[in-house]
Structure 1
Amino acid sequence: MIAQFFQTVDLGIKSLLVQKLRAGLAALGIFIGTSTVIWLVAMGEGVSYRAQQQILELGAKNVIVRTKEPNEGSEEDANARVKTYGLLRADYRRIVENIPNIRRAIPMRELKFELRLDDRTADAKLVGCAEEYLELNRLQIARGRWLSPRDRGKKVIVLANETAKRLFPYENPIGRAIWVGSEFYTVVGQTKDRTASAAIGGSLDSRDYNLDAYIPLKTLRQRVGDLVMKRVGGGQGMNFTGEDVELSQITVEVNNIDEVDETAQIIETLLRKYHEKEDYAVVVPRELLRQAERTRTMFNVLLVVIAGISLLVGGIGIMNIMLATVTERTREIGVRRALGATRSDIIGQFLIETVVLTAGGGLTGVLFGLAVGPIFRFLKKVVTMVSPDALPPIVHTLEPRIALWSVLLSLGISLGVGIVFGVYPARKAAYLDPIEALRHE
C-alpha cells in the first residue's frame, strides 16, 4: 500500500514536470495567496502592537477619578450661589492609605484663567499639579525646567507651547514674570508641542495640552484657593456664582494591569461611602485596550478574507488547469484503465498532482511570508534612500509581527483548496469510459 502510494506520488510529480511552466503558473496563485495571508496579518499585528503600546503609554494601568458637577437634587441646590462638590484632599489620603497595590496617586486641580503680559493675554487652563504630572502625561520640556519639590508654595509657572507663544511670540519666556490673576508668577519652563488627545469611547475626554499653564498644587491652593467666583450678567442684574472644588482629578497608577478593575471598584466603594452626591466619576482607560483588541480582530478577519479570495482564485486556476490536463491525457487514462487501474487509482493520481501543486505553492509562500521582516526593512531602507520624506512617520516605527496562526491557516487553506478543487477533475478523469478514452486522439 505504502509502495503504491509513493509510486503514485512519483508518477504525479513526473506528469507535472512535463509541463513545467503551466505547473509553475498554477502554483504561483497559491504562492501569492499564502504569502499574502502571512504578510497582511503580520502588518496588521505590527500596527495593532504599536497601537497597544501607545495605549499602555497613555495609561492603561491607570484609574482616573474625576470631579463632576452633580445633578441638582433640590431647588435649594439649583439656586445656591456657591456650589460645593467634587473630590476632596481627604479622598486622596484615603485612597493612598487604604489601597496597598497602587504604585502612585497623583492629584491635580485645574481651572480656566487669564494670563497677561503687558497688552497680550492668553485664556489658559491653569493646572495645579505635582512633579509627577510631567511623566504621567508624556510632556517634554522645550526650555527651562519642570516644577520641582522646592517650588511647592512658590509663585512659579511652566507654560505650555501655545500659551507661551501667545504671551511671548518672539521672546524667550524663561525668567520673565507674568500676571496670573492679580499676582506675578515667574516663568521657569516651557513644554514642547504635544498632540491633543482625542475623546475615545466615552472614557477619555479630548484634551489640548498646548493651552495649559502649570503651577505647584500647593501654590494654587494657597494663592487661588478652592473657591472660585464668576461674574454672571451685567449692569444692575450682575451676580456672582462660585464653585468650591478641592481637586479636579486623582490619577491612580497600579502595579499590574490585571489589578485595574479591582482597584477601580475599591475606589468607587470608598467614594460612595463619603460622598452623599454622585459628584465624581471613575474612568478605566483599560477600555481602550479592549477596543484596540476588537479593532485588531476585525482588521485580521478582513485581511484573511481578502487573502482568502486570492487563494480561492488560485484554486480555481488550478482546477481549470487540471481539467485541461484531463482532456490532454484522456488516452493515457484509457491505457491505465485497460491495464487494470481502478477509478480510485485515477482519482488518487490526479488528487496527488493537485495537492503537490498547492503544497509546493503553499510551502514556498510560507517561506516568503516568514521573510516579511527583513524584506520590509530592506524596502523601507531603499524607499528612504530614494526619497527621505516619501514614507509617513508611522511606517518608520512599524515592525511586522508574524502570527503563528496565520502561517498554519494559510498552509491549511492552500492544502484544502488543492483537495477541494482537485476532486472534480480527478472524478471526471476516473469516470471516463475506457474504450472511448483509448480512441481519443
Structure 2
Amino acid sequence: MTPLISLRHVSKTYFNGDLAVEVLHGVSLDIEAGEFVAIIGQSGSGKSTLMNILGCLDQPTEGDYLIDGERVSGFDTDELAALRRRTFGFVFQSYNLIPTASAQENVEVPAVYAGMSARDRHDRAEALLHQLKLGERLDHRPNQLSGGQQQRVSIARALMNGGRVVLADEPTGALDSQSGSDVMALLRDMNDKGHTIIVITHSREVAEQADRLIEIHDGRIVADRTKKSRANPEAAQALSQTVSEGSAAIADVTEAVKMAFRALRANLFRTVLTLLGIVIGVGSVVAMLAIGTGAQDSVLNRISSMGSDLLVVRPSMANFRGSAGGSNVTLVPADADAILEVPNVAFAVPELTSNVTVRRGNVDYQTSANGTVPQFTTAKSWKMQQGEFLTQDDMDTYAPVAVLGQTVVKTLFPDGDSPLGQYVLVNKIPFQVIGVMAEMGATSFGNDQDDVVLVPLTTGSMRLFGQRNVRTITVQVKDAAAIDITQQTIQALLDQRHKRQDTQITNMSSVREAFTETSNTMKLFLGSVAAISLLVGGIGVMNIMLVSVSERTREIGVRMATGARQRDILLQFIIEALVVSAIGGTLGVVLGLGVGALAGQFGMPVAFTLGPVALAFACAFLTGLVFGFLPARNASRLQPAVALSAD
C-alpha cells in the first residue's frame, strides 16, 4: 500500500545572509496510516525542523514530500493550509492556546477555517472536551486551567477536524509526571481509534511508549526501530475516508468579528487610546461642519429674506466724506425718483440714518433713526406687528410720525402699554407713534435690527438729520433674470446725473453666490482641519494593529497550523481594524452631534445634515481599512513555522 507519509531525500537549509546552514541531510522516511511513531533527538538534531516539514508548516529545500502518494513540495500556501486542515492536528509543548478565548472557543478554531457551521462546531467541541473530562471547563480561559488541562484542550483542538495525523511536539515536556502519563495515555487511545500519532521528543522514556522509534542526530536518521505493528489499520483506513471528504469554506466573518472584540478587550486601555483619536477626529468633522453649515444657512436665509432681486446703491468708498449720515453728498432722494423711471425697476427705496436720543417720560435711550419711504417694508421683507407704516401722505406733509422697532418699544414702554398714538421725543422733537414693527432679531454680525425708529424721509431730512443726502437706495427689479442689465443701466444713469462715478451698486444675487462660495471654502478648511485628527486616529489604528501582530505572532502561527489561509489571517486583522474604526466612528458621531447640540443651546447657528455625518463615519471606516491593511498583510505573510517559534 502507498504510505501515508513519505519523505525522499529531503534536505533543509536555512540562509542567514551569505551563510547557509543545512539542518536536514537527505532524510528518507515512510510512515503508514495508523502508526504510533516517536522521533527522538537532542536539541539541534533537526527533529523540530523535521516535524515542521511533516506538518506542512515548512517546506524542504530539496527532496520530495508525499502524502498518500501526492507530491506536496509544489503546493502553494492555500493548498498547504487546506492539507493541514483536513489531515493534521498539532499538540504543542507550550499548548499554544489563544489566551483571550475559552477552552471551547480554542477547540473550535480549526473548524472555523474548515467552514463548519457554528452550531456543528459548538456541538463537536463540547463533545470532545467532555470525552477528555473537561466538560466543566468549557468557558474557562487558558489561565484558569492547569497545565494538564491546557494540554488536553490542545489535544481536543487537534481532533476537531478529524486529526488523521496528530503531531505532538514534546507533549509532556511542560507537565508533571502524572499529567504527562495521562497525555501519553490519551495519545495511545487516539492511536487505537485509528489516528496516526507522531511524537517529537528528546525523552527516551516518552519515546519508548511508541510502537516505532526513529532516532535523528545532526540532521540524519541514525536508527529506525519498530517494536510492534499498527494497532488498528482498519480504523485508520476508515478515519482516512471520513476526514478526506468535504472542502474548506471561507472563514466565518461573524466569528472573525467576535475574535476581534476578544482581542480588543484583552488590551482595553490601549484600545481606548486608539479609539480616542478616531472619536475626536469624527466628532470634530461632524461638529465643525454642522456649525459651519448652520452659520452659512443663517446668513443665506437673511440674504434670501432681502430678496435675490434687489440692488443696493451706495456712495462709492473712494468719495466717502464721513457726513453725519454716513453718505456721499451726491446721493439724494431725487436719484431714487430717477431710478424709478428705469425699465424693469419695481421700486427704489432711499434711506438716511443717524444716531438720535429718544425720550419718553423719564427714560432716555440712544438709538438710530432711519428716514425712509413707504416701500421700505416691501424692500426689507419686514412685517408690521401693530398699527400702520408710513404713507405717501406722511411724506408729502412732512408729518412728525414714527414707527418703532421692538427693542425701542421694550425700552420706552416697559410696563407693556400700547405705544400706538403716544408721543416720544426724538432729539427733543415730538413724534407720534403710528406703528410697531415685527421682531427681526440680530444680524449675523450681531447688530440689533429692532433697535430703530423709522420716520418719513422728508421729515427726518428736514427736522432730524439736517441734510438731504441719503445713505442707500434699495432697488427691486421686476424680472430677476434681467437684473445684471438693469444694474448696468442704473449705474450709467447715476454716472450721468453726477457727472462722475461716485456710486457703487451691490447685486444681492451676486452677494449670495460670493458668500456661498466663500462659506463652502471655509467649511472645506474646517473639515480639513478636523480631518487631521482623523488622520492621527488612523495612524493610531495602524500602530495598535502592528503591535497586535507583533504580540500575537505565535497565535497567528497556531491559526495557520490549524488551517487558516493567508486571506483568513488578512481578513481577521482587517476586521479588527474595522471594528476599532466602526466603534470610534459611532462614538465620534455621537460626540459631534452632542457638541453641535450644545453649541445650539448657546445660540450658535447649527444645522445637522446626513451628508457630513455619513462622510465622517465612512472616512473613519475607510481609515480602518487603509491603515489596517499593512499590518494585516504583514500578519498574513508570516510563515507558520517562523510564527510558531516566535517568543
Is this a same-fold pair by TM over 0.5? yes
Counterpart position of 2:288: 44
Specify the alignment match of 1:177 in structure 2.
423
Matched, 1:126 2:369: yes
> Is the Cα contact below 8 Å between 1:125 and 1:212 reproduced in 2?
yes
2:392 paired with 1:392: no
How far off its partner does 1:161 sit?
4.9
* Range moving further from structure 2, 320-329 or 418-427: 418-427
User: Which residue pairs with 1:354 in the alignment?
Assistant: 573
Provide closer, same or farther for how the CA distance between residues 420 and 103 of structure 1 changes in structure 2, counting only shifts above 3 A: farther
Matches of 1:279 and 1:376 in 2, distance apart?
49
Q: 2:265 matched to 1:21?
A: no
Measured in 1, the distance between the counterparts of 2:414 and 2:588 equals 53
When residues 12 and 42 of structure 1 are mapped into structure 2, their CA distance, relative to the original with a 3 A threshold, is closer
Partner residue in 2 for 1:213:
453
- State the alpha-carbon separation in 1 of the partners of residues 387 and 282 from structure 2: 49
Tell me the secondary structure at the aligned position of residue 10 of structure 1: coil
Tell me, which stretches of 5 or more residues in structure 1 are unaligned? 74-82, 200-205, 230-242, 384-388
Residues 329 and 148 (structure 1 numbering): CA distance in 2 closer, same or farther, change over 3 Å? same
Q: For 1:422 and 1:263, how far apart are their aligned partners in 2?
A: 65
Deviation, 1:198, is 6.5
Q: Which structure 2 residues correspond to residues 132-281 of structure 1 after superposition, within 5 A?
A: 132-134=375-377, 144-147=387-390, 151-153=394-396, 154-161=399-406, 163=408, 173-180=419-426, 184-191=430-437, 197=443, 207=447, 209=449, 211-217=451-457, 219-220=459-460, 224=463, 229=466, 243-245=467-469, 247-252=470-475, 267-281=490-504
Structure 1: which amino acid aligns with 2:401? Answer: V
Aligned mates of 2:580, 2:250 — CA distance in 1: 17
Specify whether residues 309 and 109 from structure 1 end up closer, same or farther in structure 2 by C-alpha distance, changes over 3 A only.
same
* Contact 2:401 2:431 (C-alpha < 8 Å) held by counterparts: yes
CA distance in 1, matches of 2:521, 2:542: 31
- Residue 627 of structure 2 corresponds to 417
Which residue of structure 2 lines up, in the alignment, with residue 402 of structure 1? 611
Cα distance change on mapping 1:10 and 1:72 into 2, 3 Å: closer
Q: Structure 1 residues 298, 67: closer, same or farther in 2, change over 3 A?
A: same
Say which is worse superposed, 10-19 or 53-62, in terms of deviation. 10-19
Partners of 1:280 and 1:15 in 2: how far apart? 72
Alpha-carbon shift at residue 147 of structure 1 (Å) = 3.7
After TM superposition, give the deviation of residue 309 of structure 1 in Å: 2.0
* Cα distance between partner residues in 2 of 1:182 and 1:438: 97
CA distance in 1, matches of 2:366, 2:260: 78
1:321 to partner: Cα distance: 1.4
Secondary structure at 1:65 match in 2: strand
Residue 70 of structure 1: how far off its partner (Å): 5.9
Task: Pick the structure with greater CA Rg.
Answer: 2
Paired AA for residue 625 in structure 2: L
Name the aligned partner's letter for residue 54 of structure 1. S
Report the Cα offset of residue 218 of structure 1. Answer: 5.1
What residue number does 1:57 align with? Answer: 301
- CA–CA distance in structure 2, aligned partners of residues 332 and 180 of structure 1: 89
Q: Distance in 1 between matches of 2:291 and 2:373?
A: 34
Q: Is the 8 A contact 1:160 1:192 kept in 2?
A: yes
- The residue identity in structure 2 corresponding to 1:110 is T
Corresponding residue SS for 1:318? helix
Q: Percent identical across equivalent pairs?
A: 16
Kindly state the Cα deviation for residue 288 of structure 1 after the two structures are TM-superposed: 3.8
8 Å Cα contact 1:13/1:356 also seen in 2:
no
CA distance in 2, matches of 1:114, 1:13: 75
TM-score (norm 1): 0.65
CA contact (8 A) 1:177 1:184 kept: yes
**TM-score after normalising by structure 2:** 0.47
Closer, same or farther: CA 163–332 of 1 in aligned 2, 3 Å: closer
Equivalent position amino acid for 1:10 in 2 = A
- Contact 2:260 2:579 (8 Å CA) reproduced: no
Question: Do 1:55 and 1:289's aligned partners in 2 also have CA atoms closer than 8 Å?
Answer: no
Secondary structure of 1:350's counterpart equals helix
The Cα shift of 1:63 comes to 3.6
User: What is the one-letter code of the residue matched to 1:321?
Assistant: S
Partners of 2:630 and 2:481 in 1: CA distance: 45
Partner residue, 1:77: none
Change (3 A) 1:273 1:42: farther
Q: Cα distance, 1:297 vs. partner?
A: 1.6
The answer to which structure, 1 or 2, has the higher relative contact order (CA under 8 A, 6+ apart) is: 1
Higher helix share: 1
> Using the alignment, how far apart are the partners of 1:43 and 1:66 within structure 2?
38
Instruction: Give 1:113 shift.
Output: 4.6
Deviation per CA, 1:209-257: give whole Å up to 9, x if none: 4553211335546x549xx65xxxxxxxxxxxxx542x32122456899
Q: 1:123-148 CA distances to partner (integer Å, 9 max, x unpaired)?
A: 54321223453465576767655445
Letter in 2 for 1:187: V
Q: CA deviation at 1:186?
A: 1.0
Distance across 2 between alignment mates of 1:115 and 1:258 = 43
Equivalent AA in structure 2 for residue 217 of structure 1: L
One-letter code aligned to 1:306? S
Residues matched between the structures, number = 385
Alignment equivalent of 1:106, drawn from 334, 349, 359? 349
The CA RMSD over aligned residues, in Å, is: 5.1
Native 8 Å contact 2:359 2:424 kept in 1: yes
CA contact (8 A) 1:129 1:217 kept: yes
Q: Which string of whole-angstrom CA distances, capped at 9 and with x for unpartnered residues, describes residues 287-332 of structure 1? A: 4434322321221112222233223323321222122221334466
Shift of 1:54: 1.7
Q: How does 1:286-435 map to 2 (within 5 A)?
A: 286=512, 287-330=514-557, 333=560, 335=561, 346=566, 348-362=567-581, 368=586, 391-394=601-604, 398-403=607-612, 405-427=615-637, 429-430=638-639, 434=641
